[in-house]
Structure 1
Amino acid sequence: MDIRKIDDTISVAPQISVDDVAEIARLGYKTLVANRPDQEEFGQPPMSDIEAAAQEHGLAWVYMPVASGNITDQDVDQFAPMIRDADKPVLAFCRSGTRCTVLWALSAARNGGVQDIFTKARNAGYDITALTPRLAQQAQRQN
């Protein structure tokens, strides 16, 4: 399991397994967010199995699948309040963690501090410089 901390409220990870959920709970995460569609790739664990493990270990579960490379403003509209209102810290996962990072970055841009967003993403191992125009657009939609 490769958990990458963005800040004190959210971390991201590539695909987790059912067996990882107990460790995620032990590490103190309160909410587990799946941004990967079920059956996106052969051999991927069923989201229902991960959800059951999350519930077994006392984690809040959010299933918010987003198509890779196709994050819409509606996805950000859904992600932003979910993250704001979630029990923290949150661990969001997808295939590589990039989708979750992009969703976080676009939603965080609505609160300003775009340069800080680049820094946090880079420190977590994600280069989001290609998002510069979209981050600027989202900053115009400040909450």
Structure 2
Amino acid sequence: MSDFRKLSDTVLASPQITPEIISEAKELGVTAIINNRPDDEEAGQPAGGEIEAAAQAAGMDYVAIPVTSAGFSEPQVEAMTEALAGTQGKVLAFCRSGTRSTLLWSLAQAAAGKDPDAITAAARGAGYDVSPIRPAMDMFAARSKG
């Protein structure tokens, strides 16, 4: 059973998924999977390659943008922004708990000029706290406005 959480009309965040959950995501209109979890982070975790193969077999796009305990970098934010912009349909982003995926989505949204207060509210509605990255969200949002 999945724990997909709605961040927006087109983006869902989730704790770790398995290849078997891909069909459930497809039924919900997901057309792309974004993996924000590095391989071998935890024993027993499905390999990214397994999830990628299942996604591709289901006709979905797959992008890996791993986020380690070192935190977020600007290239990761740019990669997430590009992945979201290049997808038609819904996106499912996942990591161990869904938090890193939500934080990276939040930074990408701010970099794209979205309102940090609205981003924060959307994340909170999905059960995620983005307050640790709020200063970075504000910086990205201000930068996007020139």
The CA distance in 1 between the partners of 2:116 and 2:48, in whole Å, is 32
1:1-143 pair list within 5 angstroms: 1-68=2-69, 70-110=71-111, 111-142=113-144
- TM-score normalised by structure 1 residue count: 0.94
Residues paired across the two proteins, number: 143
Mean CA deviation greater in 91-100 or 71-80: 71-80
Q: Deviations over 1:28-82 (max 9, x none)?
A: 1010111111111110011111111111111111111121351112211211121
Q: Deviations over 1:100-135 (max 9, x none)?
A: 101111111121311101100000000111222111
The CA distance in 1 between the partners of 2:16 and 2:128, in whole Å, is 16
Moved over 2 A (4+): none
The CA distance in 1 between the partners of 2:135 and 2:30, in whole Å, is 32
The 8 Å contact of residues 68 and 99 in structure 1, kept in 2 or not, is answered as: no
Q: What is the DSSP-based 3-state SS (H/G/I as helix, E as strand, rest coil) of the residue aligned with 1:141?
A: helix
Q: What is the DSSP-based 3-state SS (H/G/I as helix, E as strand, rest coil) of the residue aligned with 2:92?
A: strand
Consecutive unaligned residues of structure 1, counting only runs of 5 or more, are: none
Consecutive unaligned residues of structure 2, counting only runs of 5 or more, are: none
The 8 Å contact of residues 60 and 87 in structure 1, kept in 2 or not, is answered as: no
**CA 1:123–1:69: 2 relative to 1, 3 Å:** farther
* Percent identical: 40
The 8 Å contact of residues 6 and 121 in structure 1, kept in 2 or not, is answered as: yes
Cα RMSD of the aligned pairs, angstroms, is 1.3
